[in-house]
Structure 1
């Protein structure tokens, strides 16, 4: 997100009206609903996290302890447990779709 100068964008009358409510402060103007982007849609972070989580689950299935996984991936034990449960459910759903 980048900042834009209101005096370069808004008509003087509108700028004056806004200054009646907030003068010299920062204000966030949200996107219209039809222009909103989902989290991570502009980057590769979703794919990176999916791969990391799949690797955590694979390591868990290979016998690695939760504590060791936490140290390896710099996550809390609770986060590791949450990821394992999520990946286990994902695998079960894939399995049930095959039949």
Structure 2
């Protein structure tokens, strides 16, 4: 989170109104709900994990064992099983 000086971006009358409630402290102004993004959307990490998980399922379906996948992706066997289950849409 980057702090900005209110005097450089807000109108003077708005600053005076805010000063009635808080002065000299940090104030967090949250993002409007419609502007919020899900975790990993900005960095692309979410997409990368989705691609990795699809690759894990494809590898499993082609005969690679859970143990081998866990070692290859540096995950626990339990995590690999969970990913496979989720990628199949929760069906076994």
Fold shared by both chains (TM-score > 0.5):
yes
Q: 1:84 to 1:57 in 2, by over 3 A?
A: same
- State whether residues 70 and 76 of structure 1, in contact with CA within 8 Å, keep that contact through their aligned partners in structure 2: yes
Q: Structure 2 regions of 5+ residues with no counterpart?
A: none
The structural deviation recorded for 1:39 is 2.5
Residues 55-75 of structure 1 deviation map (CA, whole Å, 9 limit, x = unaligned): 111111122221221111111
Q: Distance in 1 between matches of 2:7 and 2:20?
A: 10
The number of residue pairs the alignment matches comes to 87
Residue range with higher mean Cα deviation, 9-18 or 40-49 = 9-18
RMSD value over aligned CA atoms?
A: 2.5
TM-score w.r.t. the length of structure 1 is: 0.65
Residues 38-69 of structure 1 deviation map (CA, whole Å, 9 limit, x = unaligned): 22332322221111011111111122221221
Q: Distance in 2 between matches of 1:73 and 1:80?
A: 9
Q: Which residue does 2:21 correspond to in 1?
A: 17
**Bigger helix share:** 1
